[in-house]
Chain A
Amino acid sequence: MDRRLPPREGEWIDRSRPVKFRFEGAAYTGFAGDVLSSALWANDVRLLGRSFKYHRPRGIYSLAGHDANVMVEDGRRTNIRGDLLSIEPGLDVRSVNTSGGVERDRLQIIDWFGRFLPVGFYYKAFHTPRWLFPFYENRMRKVAGLGRIHPDNKYPPSPKDYAYCDLLVVGAGPAGLAGAIAAAEQGLQVLLVEEQPRPGGSLTWQWAGEPAADQHLFGLLEKVEAFDNIRIRCGTQVAGCYGDHWAALIDDDRLTKLRTKSMLVAAGCFEQPAVFQNNDLPGVMSASAAQRLIHLYAVKPFGKAVVLAANSDGYRAALDLHNAGVVVAALVDLRHDGEPTKLAQMVADVGIVSHTGHAVYEALPARGKKRICGAVICPLDRDGNPRTESSIRIDCDGIAISVGWTPNVGLIYQAGGRFHHAEQVEQLVPLELPAGLFAAGRANGVFDLGDQIDDGCRAGLAAAAHLDRFDGEIPDSPKHQVAAPTHPYPIFAHKRKKNFVDFDEDLHLQDFENAHQEGYDNIELMKRFTTVGMGPSQGKLSNINAIRILARLNGASINETGTTTSRPFHRPVPLGILAGRRFHPQRRTPMHNWHVQAGAEIMHAGAWLRPEYYKAGGQNRDDCILNEAANVRNNVGLIDVGTLGKLEINGPDAVRLLEHLYTGRFRKQQVGRLRYGLACDETGVIIDDGVIARLADDRFYVTATSSGAAAFYREMQRWALIFDMDVTLINATGQLVAMNIAGPNSREVLQELTESDLSKDGFPYLGVREGIVAGAPAKLMRVGFVGELGYEIHVPASYGLHVWTTLMQAGERFRIRPFGVEAQRLLRLEKGHLIVGQDTDALTNPYEADVAWAIGKNKPFFVGSRSLDIIQKKPTTRCLVGLAFGDDQPRPMPSECHLIIADGEIAGRITSIAPRSTLGHSIAMAFVTPELAAVGTRVKIRADDGCIVEAHVAKMPFYDPESTRQQ
């Protein structure tokens, strides 16, 4: 049956563009502009989904995304809301969480077992016997959950956006439009954001039946268009409001991060359900949903309807239904005194029978429960209790409910606003708004249409005044109307307990009474125990009724009962939109591409990319690394160490600062010489090390670890301030590159590129020189990290690639080869040099790491010294030593962090290990207990699978113990 109405003014569908789509395997046609729910309803498809727990049939409820009755998946996307999904050609969706489709869902049988499954039933059972719980949990997990993920789904990268404005207006209904205009008139830059595809808010559906309303809408929109300084964005939600007026705007494509100076929330209200037996079945919906069907999508909601009302909106809705050709069999008004306005007469004039002081007590399901076939109404006594003995049955296929509203003000809560329950309107209204935050319209408890517009205007002016753009008089908010538009307790008990308070979680009235009985009697405990408000609609339709029920059970007021916090997001937001394009900064040296061309296996070292090793002639990784290392020992190698921290410390207090920051002494360090620098934090833990080169009396050039450089520089700056040092500090890490040429032939290779004196006497070990290398201004340092004759060359980054390639060319006849991080680690291990962060951990002090020699004698103070004084008085618990392995070891060898075991106790761990070295045997560095630290001690290491590998403590350096090679 086609329920589509004839074309009407203001409809959102485009009848010139029919759209074919599929739902649950069946084909339907709708129009462009339809959402899935409206298109299906137009095709008289009412069974749109199944509820989470009981798998009860569900249809349209709010048609505004306030409920989660209609959730579908399309084989790629999941948990799509039917109310918010615009139909497109080719759409093919199925309901989530059914077993066998929405029509025949096998799990609907759970509805019969409701009496065994009261709220929190799963806390009461399934946990014993213990061994059976995993089975139960497995079954529960399969039944819980809604949509499925699709492992092959690729989400297109969604670039984020930024926006700025003076005033963000949330909601383009009458109050929002008026507020935007009033603010724009004062010159504010206004951004007006509307979550529906078109502006107008309640003017498009609640007032659409009235000619005056159309004029309002047209007039307001025209004015908005006329202002250059009002930007309007539809189809966009303000998902969350964060500190310093930072707001997340979400549309179908992207996240826009908005910085505004003020915010006006005019986002209206969520229409609230009445709680009665079977109030969740298809055909029972909020009156606003029926109005949206009629006015926006031109769909006749029902054939025959009962309207349940407690306000003027319900009467207006009854007239809309009547005018759309629906037989309104009854208008049931919870209020004993009925409707005070002329709407009462208008309804009577068209022949609709009103029953004042009555309630809908029960919706009667048709066979299979997939639609309703009638309503049972009862008179209410003076206390609001239904007198079921006088009930009347009315045939109908729809019940439209208009019993009250709750403001859509989550954003105000997030911004720190506070609310209280106002009895005049029986809803929460703002009590205290932080500076720069405003509310208007129904969100502010103002319901008369003219008043809403005035209230919006007031708020816009208030925003302008807040920003010092208006100093005129600002009117007060209009007084709340006489009759509250919200009924304080539209909730009726029923012994068969299918009167739902939370549709997402299938919670009925009795569930709350049970929870209260069990002691979950404050709003937070009740929420957590019942899970009310924790489903996909996050309580938009259930929180207020839950609070009312709890208040009544406690004999307390709403204000005493309180509310739960509102958290982002207003409507759920896809991870893909929050993630955007997922930038991951990378740092590369200028020689990066050269390394890649040369066959480097690139590794990540923090944000830096570095060559781990260079692939050569079909050899495996271990062979490549060993060969690179051997080539350094025998010929000459070149490594890119550009990731090193490079810091300049200049000025009269340079020495003083160095002596405060490092453990060593530098006062007497000669110009042109290097010293090792070891730095600790205030607790005496090693945090960095490097080389300290003196270029002049008051100029030092310092290297730091790649990973620690930024933090170390930062702390250096702070200490310079605290110690009141006259220094200039420069972090040149990115400005300069560094490479190390090492090996017996390194001097010859380098000499080809520089006029500097590289002779043994002219440039001794631990010297530093400034000169020109391959035309580049360079600092040259003779460091000993890998244990061969070698020079570390630091040049400006723009020269880096040139110097590198020139060195490689010059070194060809000396069999130069590049070497990577792994080869360097092997070479330095052979020399017994520790790597901070590898051979030290978050608690290692210099005594344990065998670098106490780097602590200057008789130094009055350095960072960490006082702590080290305390630490030194305590017995050492571990020592960093070298280990050597014999040839007769089982393979595989241990790895880093395998433990040393002595007498069944943990006695240390490996920190660095090289199963193969240029020495021909395996070596390692390890922490061991002091008892095991003596050279020659045999130690046992527990490797994989509990295998014990033996080694003995060896003196370091393993290679070239006299360090003659590097001199």
Chain B
Amino acid sequence: MKIITCPINGPRPLQEFHFGGEVRTMPDATAATDAEWADYVFNRSGEPGVKREWWYHVPSGTWFIAERDNCTDEFLRTYLYRAEHVDG
């Protein structure tokens, strides 16, 4: 089974994780048009490439960000959200 490196717990097997989807930046709800909001809610960037994704280590309740190539399935890095959060 695949191994993912949780920033807190280190390398753990895939079955301990939950995939939380790509990292999306919420637009300003009041400023966004209906179309912009619908795009945020529904549309995704599903094309091949290195993605920033939410992952969750279930036993320890740890959310973190992974940069992963969605074709080779290689995890380039994983890190806690707060540590690298950039506004906007």
Contact = CB atoms under 8 A, between A and B. Distances in A.
A, B co-complexed: yes
A683 B42 contact: yes
A246 B63 CA distance: 25
Interface string B49-73: 0000010101001010000000001
Given A243-B73, A246-B1, A683-B42, A866 B37 contact: yes
Contacts of B82: 721, 724
A243 B29 contact: no
Nearest to A731: B61
Contacts of A729: 61
A714 B29 CA distance: 23
A811 to B, nearest CB: 38
A155 interface: no
Nearest to B27: A866
Interface in A851-904: 860-861, 865-867, 870
Contacts of A257: 1
* Binding site secondary structure of chain B: mixed
B44 interface: no
B61 A860 contact: no
Contacts of A866: 29, 32, 37
Nearest to A245: B3
A941 B85 CA distance: 54
* Binding site secondary structure of chain A: mixed
Given A714-B18, A717-B63, A865 B29 contact: yes
A346 B1 CA distance: 53
Interface string B33-45: 0100110011000
B49 to A, nearest CB: 19
Given A714-B18, A860-B30, A866-B29, A682 B2 contact: no
Nearest to A713: B61
A872 to B, nearest CB: 11
Nearest to B23: A722
A718 B34 CA distance: 24
B61 A717 contact: yes
A244 B5 CA distance: 12
Contacts of B73: 243
Interface in A681-733: 682-683, 713-714, 717-718, 721-722, 724, 729, 731
Contacts of B1: 242-244, 246, 257
A649 to B, nearest CB: 14
Contact of B63 (A718, A865, A870): A718
Contact of B81 (A721, A860, A861): A721
Interface in A233-263: 242-244, 246, 257
- The CB with the most chain A CB atoms within 10 A, among B30, B41, B54, B56, is that of B41
A244 B3 contact: yes
A721 B83 CA distance: 11
A682 B41 contact: yes
A722 B26 contact: yes
Contacts of A243: 1-2, 73
Contact of B29 (A683, A722, A861): A861
A722 B30 CA distance: 18
Contacts of B34: 870
A724 to B, nearest CB: 8
A721 B63 contact: yes
A866 B38 CA distance: 9
Contact of B2 (A244, A713, A717, A867): A244
A683 B38 CA distance: 8
Contacts of A717: 56, 61, 63
Nearest to A860: B30
B39 to A, nearest CB: 12
Nearest to A870: B34
Interface in B1-15: 1-3
A865 B37 CA distance: 11
Contacts of A714: 18, 56, 58, 61
B21 to A, nearest CB: 10
Nearest to B4: A244
A683 B42 CA distance: 8
A957 B37 CA distance: 37
A870 B42 contact: no
A721 B63 CA distance: 9
A667 B32 CA distance: 26
A118 B20 CA distance: 52
A715 to B, nearest CB: 9
Interface string A782-794: 0000000000000
A683 B18 contact: no
Nearest to A867: B41
B16 to A, nearest CB: 13
B11 to A, nearest CB: 9
A661 to B, nearest CB: 14
Nearest to B29: A866
A656 B61 CA distance: 21
B38 A718 contact: no
B41 A718 contact: no
Given A243-B2, A861-B29, A870-B38, A718 B54 contact: yes
A72 to B, nearest CB: 35
A866 B29 CA distance: 6
Nearest to A873: B34
Contacts of A731: 61
A243 B4 CA distance: 11
Interface string A663-682: 00000000000000000001
Contacts of A861: 29
A257 B1 CA distance: 9
Nearest to B32: A866
Contacts of A713: 61
Given A714-B18, A714-B56, A722-B26, A870 B61 contact: no
A717 B82 CA distance: 12
A861 B32 CA distance: 13
Contacts of A246: 1-2
Nearest to A861: B29
Nearest to B61: A717
A246 B4 CA distance: 13
B28 to A, nearest CB: 10
A244 to B, nearest CB: 5
Nearest to B38: A870
Nearest to B30: A860
Contacts of A867: 37-38, 41
Given A243-B2, A683-B42, A866-B32, A718 B37 contact: no
A392 B15 CA distance: 65
A886 to B, nearest CB: 44
Nearest to B64: A721
A597 to B, nearest CB: 33
A713 B56 CA distance: 12
Contacts of A721: 63, 81-82
Nearest to B42: A683
A69 B10 CA distance: 49
B37 A870 contact: yes
A401 to B, nearest CB: 42
Contacts of A683: 41-42
Nearest to B11: A244
Nearest to A720: B63
10 contacts: A244-B1, A244-B3, A246-B2, A714-B18, A718-B20, A721-B82, A731-B61, A866-B29, A867-B37, A867-B38
Interface pairs A-B: 6 shortest CB-CB? A866-B29, A244-B3, A721-B81, A243-B2, A866-B37, A870-B34
Interface of A: 242-244, 246, 257, 682-683, 713-714, 717-718, 721-722, 724, 729, 731, 860-861, 865-867, 870
Interface of B: 1-3, 18, 20, 26, 29-30, 32, 34, 37-38, 41-42, 54, 56, 58, 61, 63, 73, 81-82, 85
Given A242-B1, A729-B61, A870-B37, 19 more contacts: A244-B2, A244-B3, A246-B1, A683-B41, A714-B56, A714-B58, A714-B61, A717-B61, A718-B20, A718-B56, A721-B63, A721-B81, A722-B26, A722-B81, A724-B82, A861-B29, A866-B32, A867-B37, A867-B38
